[in-house]
Amino acid sequence: MGKLEGKVGLITGAAGGIGRATSKLFIEEGAKGVVMADIWDEMGEKTAEELGPNAIYLHTDVSEEADIKKSIELAIEKFGQLDIVFSNAGNPGPGGSIDDVPTDEFDHTVAIHLRAAFLYMKHSIPIMKKQGSGCFITTSSVAGFQQGMGTLPYSVSKAGIIQLTRIAAVELGIFGIRANAIAPGGIATGIFGQAFGISRNGAEKVSELMKETLAEMQAIRRAGLPEDIANAALFLASDSSSFITGVTLKVDGGLLSGRIPQYPEENQERFANLMQALDPEDLKIVTERVQDGFKKVMDDLKFMKPEIRDKVIKRLQKMTPQG
């Protein structure tokens, strides 16, 4: 008997990376049904077909409240219940400092991460109250705990999810409903490629190329994999965690315990290898993004104190490939 026998789950961001791995694992563990919500229709439909009749894909833009409602309604229509909501959909958000981030892109990133998690709770709670049970799991991030591990709107959203989880746990425990979050560290998924704005297929390729870099970041010297997060989600969704609520489980290989020193020369070589493996169109996009980033740094130099400016210039020289 599987750990999710008779349970119905709804997973957002289910077509790729963490969401796809979790959908697969939930089905393997006997889930009565899994609604796979995403906007990557090609991969979502293909994965649902591979997983069999207990998996259903639905095009879902989690920044739209109407789409969120439709995915919840589909779970009830097809399976008659909703036991697990895993709010996992995400994007990297726009890079840049506070004065650079476009307001509309900030709002969109918050909508995909924090607002969507809130809305999934809002519209699923009445169903779970009637059932007398339910489980919310939301993907946070190490970026929600520490600066410098994600873009501004992404990090703010992930920190908000941690607090939303605590609030939900206290409000809902009396109804038999639990709420927990997962904070992944360096997981090899397409989000790194998406941060550069390259194609979805190109981003998936980047996820493979990032494994070597990610393996050097934390105490456990390998890249985190989507399956690592899927296993954590399975634990939090199952009765094995029935006395756990309000926690954010760090699945980061020890990253938040202390970052491993990085060497500029090795990072240059890894980045060069990554660039060489990209398709021409994706390479053009990444190159333009990198150039824009350096231009912004150079523009800001004139506002820095001389002693700080000198340190920044020396660091840039180390980071810039020679020859």
Q: Which residues are catalytic?
A: 141, 154, 158
Q: Kindly state the DSSP code that residue 304 receives in the 8-state scheme.
A: S
Long-range contacts, 240-245 (Cβ 8 Å, 24+):
240/3, 241/178, 241/180, 242/178, 244/178, 244/180, 245/169, 245/173, 245/178, 245/179, 245/180
Give the orientation angle of helix 280-300 with respect to helix 306-319, to 10 degrees: 160
Query: With 0-12 CB in 10 A as exposed, 13-18 as middle and 19+ as buried, what is 80?
Result: exposed
Range 38-60 burial, b when 16+ CB lie within 10 A, else e: bbbeebbbebbeebeebbbbbeb
User: CA Rg, the chain, in Å?
Assistant: 21
CA distance 312 to 140: 31
Name which of 197, 202, 191 is nearest 293 in CA terms.
197
CA distance 265 to 269: 6
Helix (H) or strand (E) holding 163: helix 152-172
Name which of 79, 77, 73 is nearest 31 in CA terms.
79
Cα–Cα–Cα angle for 30, 119, 105, rounded to 5 degrees: 115
Residue 86's SS3 state is strand
Q: Kindly state the DSSP code that residue 260 receives in the 8-state scheme.
A: P
